[in-house]
Structure 1
């Protein structure tokens, strides 16, 4: 199959597939372009034209994964003293107190992933637990933090789950 034929057949569907996955038009354009460059470069590897759609979309999925992998490499490194891991690094009412009050199994995961900036997979290796366990602990920790912030500080969560409002608790005013 020639590149032009692949383009004519798949370009619209492929572009919207990529856009749906990355939700950013500029990134989608870059990924789309890289996908077609790889398609053109490797079109000789497509032995069965009946499998062209699967082949094209797999290249796109690989490019999407590459995009997110590159993006995750730019996580800002924090220089946090190990002896004082949870000082006032957040401007949210009582945030440090609530993290310190988390049960140890949840606090360790939150510190590794959100404060030290490690990937969840690295946190799993550090703690010698499964990736699924890390994800579950993060989810439970977030539920506890949301409950505590809402109860103590009168913060609310919008429809997307984002924190909004002003601190309004006795702890903050001391």
Structure 2
């Protein structure tokens, strides 16, 4: 199969697959272009033409992973401000109270990841649980924290999930 034929048959589906994963048009365009470059370069290595779709989508998945890995390295290098994630939220009303009130299994992953700055994979090793379990605990802890901030302090969340607004609770006013 030729690159042009692959383009004709799969380009739209592949582009929207990438866009759905990265949710950024510029990044999707870059990943899409890199994917087709790799497809073109490695087309001779494809042994079974009937597996073409799986092959090109695997290349795209690998490019998406590369994109996110590069992004995290870039962000880490850019962050020269040594402010810990905890310091960022210190001024938010009830923050410490809500963190401390979390059930232990949720509090420890939040503290290790967001306060101590460990990677989720490392936290899984520290706690002796799976990475999926760490992610699930973080998700549940965030749900609890969002509920508490919304109910107690009347904070709202913007489209990116960040807290916005001013505290409006009896606990903060005392």
Normalising by structure 2, we get a TM-score of 0.80
Measured in 2, the distance between the counterparts of 1:144 and 1:63 equals 34
Report the equivalent of 2:131.
131
Note closer, same or farther for the CA distance 1:26–1:164 as it changes in structure 2 (3 Å cut). Answer: same
Q: Which residue in the other structure is 1:89 paired with?
A: 88
Q: Distance in 2 between matches of 1:24 and 1:93?
A: 33
Aligned counterpart, 2:150:
150
Query: Aligned-pair distance for 1:162?
Result: 5.2
Name the residue aligned to 1:166.
Answer: 166
Deviation at 1:112, TM superposition (A): 1.6
Provide, for residues 34-61 of structure 1, a one-character-per-residue CA deviation record: whole Å limited to 9, x for no partner.
1111111111111222222221111111
**Cα contact 1:78–1:115 (8 A) shared by 2:** no
Pair 40,71 (structure 1): closer, same or farther in 2 beyond 3 Å: same
Tell me the SS of whatever aligns to 2:171: coil
Matched residue of 1:89: which SS?
helix
Following the alignment from structure 1 to structure 2, what is the Cα–Cα distance between the partners of residues 135 and 97? 22
Q: 1:77 to 1:109 in 2, by over 3 A?
A: farther
Distance 1:103 1:59, change over 3 A: same
In structure 1, runs of 5+ residues without a counterpart are: none
Q: What residue is the counterpart of 1:65 in the other structure?
A: 65
Which secondary structure does the structure 2 equivalent of 1:13 belong to? helix
Change (3 A) 1:15 1:172: same
More helix by share: 2
Match of 2:3 in 1: 3
Tell me the secondary structure at the aligned position of residue 88 of structure 2.
Answer: coil
5 Å matches for 1:15-34?
Answer: 15-34=15-34
CA RMSD of aligned residues (A): 2.8
Match of 2:117 in 1: 117
Gaps of 5+ in 2: none
In 2, Cα distance between equivalents of 1:56 and 1:168: 52
Alignment partner, residue 105 of structure 1: 105
**Alignment CA distance shift 1:154-1:65 (3 Å):** same
